[in-house]
Chains A and B, each alone.
With several copies, the nearest count.
Chain A
């Protein structure tokens, strides 16, 4: 039996948008197991102990990935607290366009397509995902430099799972 009106992630985003559009200096919203606190100054929002995401339903989310993104690239402008996989980070996430096994090199033993810190264009291949023997290249999706990989080489990954962070080239 569920939590009739437990807000979805989209609801949370809507709320944050609304709060942001509003004129609040800070705000705290708690609803069931959800709490949202925002502030216009950098200090006030230190989330006290009762952390936001304590799902009361046996949420199997350990493996579930942040926003069910339809595109492979998601912009993460603020704290990405939703996914246990995604670290707190700014930048642009490259997410898996497909389920499979992620490889950083074209063949075992070969050099990786790119190393962290490397400059990439939107079309730069940063890895491949193998699904049932079929290889699918993954490109960076935006230009900038590749800050870090979020999954290990050879890792089983799901659709939508964050793979790497690109710091976009804002000068261009």
Chain B
């Protein structure tokens, strides 16, 4: 950590693009620092570029030759005279290489230490740390002999997954619902694994067909001190992509919330974690099971719902901590007094299998009103580039109850006008009006069939 010399205005290098770059520029302003943007040539004219005090072009449009190159970002940090680098999410945000290059230059990195990034960056090592910290993880058992599989499966409980130890990418995974099925499929799976991966070793893992994705926002002081900023539910997903997030997670019992928060606190303490992070869990809706998924060692896309719910500025806190200052985060209750919900508006065509839909945005109008926040880099006349992800904006609404928030968000989403490209707004209109979502607590497997059903109804009507 570097302390900026007394009296000097600290310089923040923003090593990202899109809405999060705009967000980091705002946080830099918030703490009285000077934001400098490290941008690809394609983003030289972006909103973040115009809001920053200076822009340094680090490479061409392709992320592989610009945003994904730690040495270019570190070089830009040197050029900028940066005191701290904030890498947002994605790109280099969790790359220990960038953190190390900066450390060598005595420039702070607004994130955890490189060793923490390595410890949580790998699923196996993350699971090991979690287990050591007493965090509940998914029960898994290796099968030595396929003929004993059923007995092991009975001990684990059903449904469960048969996975190849040396498999990957979802291949060789089988779902079984009972002892008989397991006994029948295990030898078959072993044979196939042997054929496919040259090794027949299998393991069994509990499968939760109707679990929610709940995550806990943490902030560590780097010395074992931990603050927990509530939880978020991010269960509305399409192909593991989060679509809608909310804070707090609705309908969690006090006991269950305590398990999540305590486990997260223990993990952060064990890691002597520095800065903002997220501990992700599966929360089963059919049992009391809670299972650690992974830890994200960065600011998340969905951080605004936590900020809105608690009235805090997590990105400014990251910058302050990295600069050796008090992050100025209050202690908050486990459940905030208001509810915040976010929808991600993507440049994708929902009626065409969510195909990315870049192009000229001829006109855009964001909604206004109390409790409405829009995090975006998109303006009228912006040519949405094809090189990067499709996130156009995050529309966040805060209200005094979940019911009020859902309704307010529906009105706000309805008032968004985007012309020139197709967006995921119809999806949000669908979800925000759906009784299941309005009731709260849908699982991660809810969206896909619900959307299918909606599409088939539309097709029927059209015929």
Assembly CA distance A60 to B76 (angstroms):
15
Q: Does A131 contact B (CB under 8 A)?
A: yes
B416 to chain A, nearest CB (A): 11
Which residues of A are found within 8 Å of B364, using beta-carbon distances?
A: 1
Shortest beta-carbon distance, B285 to chain A, in Å?
A: 42
A94 CB, min distance to chain B CBs, angstroms: 16
Given contacts A1-B380, A159-B41, contact A134 B56 (CB under 8 A): no
- Asked whether A99 and B57 contact (CB < 8 A) given A55-B382, A57-B50, the answer is yes
- Partner-binding segment picked from A2-10, A42-50, A105-113, A116-124: A2-10
Known contacts A1-B363, A4-B381, A131-B75: does B57 contact A65 (CB below 8 Å)? yes
A172 to B226, CA, bound (A): 70
A158 near B381: Cβ-Cβ < 8 Å:
no
Flag if B61 contacts A68 (CB, 8 Å): yes
A79 CB within 8 Å of chain B: no
Partner of A55 from the list B74, B360, B417 (CB cut-off 8 Å) is B360
Which among B55, B56, B61, B381 is the interface contact of A2 at CB below 8 angstroms? B381
Chain A 29-70 near chain B by CB (<8 Å), digits 1 or 0: 000000000000000000000000101111111111100111
Check A160 against B47 for contact (C-beta < 8 Å): no
C-alpha spacing A100/B74, complex, angstroms: 10
B45 within 8 A of A: yes
Taking A64-B55, A131-B71 as known contacts, 4 extra A-B pairs with beta carbons closer than 8 A to each other, sorted by chain A number, are A1-B380, A56-B381, A65-B41, A70-B61
- B49 on the interface (CB 8 Å rule)? yes
B55 touches A98 (CB 8 A): no
A158 to B54, CA, bound (A): 12
Q: Chain A's interface: helix, strand, loop or mixed, by majority?
A: loop
- B58 located at the interface, meaning its Cβ lies under 8 Å from any Cβ of chain A in the complex: yes
Q: Which of A4, A156, A158, A161 contacts B363 (CB 8 A)?
A: A4
The distance from the CB of A153 to the nearest CB of chain B, in whole angstroms, is: 16
Partner of A68, one of B37, B60, B379: B60
Contact of A99 among B37, B42, B72 (CB under 8 A): B72
Collect the chain A residues with CB atoms within 8 Å of residue B57's CB. 63-65, 68, 99, 158-161
Q: A1-B365, A60-B44, A134-B71 are in contact. Are A53 and B59 (CB under 8 A)?
A: no
CB of A63 within 8 A of CB of B56, answer yes
CB distance from B364 to the nearest CB of A (A): 7
On chain A, the residues within 8 Å of B414 by CB distance are none
Q: Is the CB of B50 within 8 A of A59?
A: yes
* B379 vs chain A, min Cβ distance (A): 4
CA A58 to CA B25, docked complex, whole Å: 14
Cross-chain contact A55 with B383 (CB below 8 angstroms): yes
Interface residues of A (CB under 8 A from B): 1-6, 8, 53, 55-65, 68-70, 98-101, 131-132, 134, 156, 158-161
Sampled A-B contacts (16; CB under 8 Å) = A1-B379, A2-B379, A4-B381, A60-B44, A60-B53, A64-B55, A68-B42, A68-B57, A68-B61, A70-B61, A99-B75, A99-B79, A131-B71, A131-B75, A132-B101, A156-B79
- Residues from 132 to 169 in B contacting A, C-beta threshold 8 Å: none
B366-391: which residues lie under 8 A (CB-CB) from chain A?
366, 379-383
Q: How far is the CA of A68 from the CA of B362 in the complex (A)?
A: 22
CA–CA, A10 and B309, complex, Å: 43
Q: Are A132 and B75 in contact (CB under 8 A)?
A: yes
How many angstroms from the CA of A142 to the CA of B44 in the assembled complex?
27
How far is the CB of B417 from the nearest CB of chain A, in Å?
A: 8
Docked CA distance A160–B55 (Å):
13
A68:B41 contact, CB within 8 angstroms: yes
Residues of B within 8 A of A101 (CB): 75
| Other-chain contact of A56, B54, B61, B74, B362 (Cβ < 8 Å) | B362
